[in-house]
Amino acid sequence: MSRQKYLIGNWKMNNTIAKTEQFLLNFEKQLNTSKTTVVIAPSFVSLSSASKVLKSDRVKLGAQNIAWEDSGAFTGEISGEMLKECKVTFCIVGHSERRQYFGESDETVNKRIKACLRQGINPVLCVGETLYERQHNMTNQTIKRQLQGAFDSIASQQAEKCIVAYEPVWAIGTGMSANEAQAGQVAGQIRDCLSVLYPSLYGQEIGQKICILYGGSANTKNASLFLNCADIDGLLVGGASLFVDDFLQLAHICESV
Ligand code: 13P
């Protein structure tokens, strides 16, 4: 994959099946994008009907998680094959809420990325530091650890299919986004770190090819600040993706920057 614009909505545990259908009908009708890949990640239970409601390829479907096994006795898990059946082409992996509340570790993140890649689903890997880590100058080491863990024993041709989202934990759902300097600096660090992990592929380092998104209280007011950063290719949006008008406006901003 080469660098391109992305707008990804992470709906988290919001919207019923009926509300998802209503949103998608309304949103798809009005969406007018040509260079931004727009993805919505609703809840698992909405994916099947969402895949039927969508009429075109303009809105792509994402999942919020994936099992690392392909099938079997894993109660409560959703496999990559099941996601593929619902036309899922992207999957968020390692979101901080999963790391914080559901025991997600760098090791399980790595296994989930491998499960995505086996199915041809593009992983959207989330990395980011806590407020404590930022205040104690540990941001760089946290990001490096998360990247090293996530990409462990993943070949370069596979790694380039991943998208990395920088989501500082302290900025998620707080209304206190990072500023563009902070976001741009860490996005640059992510590129550097990946270039060290994958020194050279076809003469160009993965760090320069991979798409990096910013997430954490991104909205219609601050979106262009992030999108103007040299190393940021798009946005991973929570709260503001739940409103048709806001998400349409964000898509419009992505197109115009
Ligand atoms: P908010 O945009 O609500 O801060 O959420 C960001 C996020 O966690 C997206 O994955």
- Can you give the pLDDT at residue 202? 53
Tokens linked to 242: 């739940």
In ligand 1, the atom with minimum distance to the C-alpha of 174 is 4
In ligand 1, the atom with minimum distance to the C-alpha of 217 is 4
pLDDT at 97 over 60: yes
Residues whose beta carbon lies within 6 Å of some atom of ligand 1: 10, 95, 167, 172-173, 215-218, 236-240
- Can you give the pLDDT at residue 205? 80
Q: Which helix (H) or strand (E) holds 189?
A: helix 180-197
In ligand 1, the atom with minimum distance to the C-alpha of 96 is 8
- How far is the C-alpha of 188 from the C-alpha of 67, rounded, in Å? 30
Neighbours of 167 (CB within 10 A): 29
CA of 159 to the centre of ligand 1 (A): 24
Q: Which residues are catalytic?
A: 95, 167
- CATH number assigned to the domain comprising residue 89: 3.20.20.70
CA of 16 to the centre of ligand 1 (A): 19
pLDDT band, residue 225 (cuts 50/70/90):
very high
Are 253 and 224 contacting, i.e. CB atoms less than 8 angstroms apart?
yes
For ligand 1, atom 2: residue with the closest CA? 238
Torsion of Cα atoms, 101 then 78 then 114 then 142, to 10°: -10
Q: How many domains does the chain have?
A: 1
- Of 203 and 46, more confident: 46
In this predicted model, what pLDDT tens digit does every residue of 123-177 receive, in sequence order? Answer: 999 999 999 999 999 999 999 999 999 999 999 889 999 999 999 999 999 999 9
In this predicted model, what pLDDT tens digit does every residue of 50-96 receive, in sequence order? Answer: 999 999 999 999 999 999 999 999 999 999 999 999 999 999 999 99
In sequence order, what DSSP letters do the residues of 131-178 get, joined into one string? HHHHHTT-HHHHHHHHHHHHTTT--HHHHTT-EEEE--GGGTTTS-PP
Domain coverage including residue 192 = 5-256
- Can you give the pLDDT at residue 201? 54
In this predicted model, what pLDDT tens digit does every residue of 174-223 receive, in sequence order? Answer: 999 999 999 999 999 999 999 888 886 555 688 889 999 999 999 999 99
Neighbours of 164 (CB within 10 A): 28
Phi, psi at 89, each rounded to 5°: -120, -10
pLDDT at 1 over 80: no
Are 236 and 213 contacting, i.e. CB atoms less than 8 angstroms apart?
yes
Tell me the best of 237, 241, 246, 247 to mutate to test the pocket of ligand 1, counting ligand atoms within 8 Å of each CB and taking the most. Answer: 237
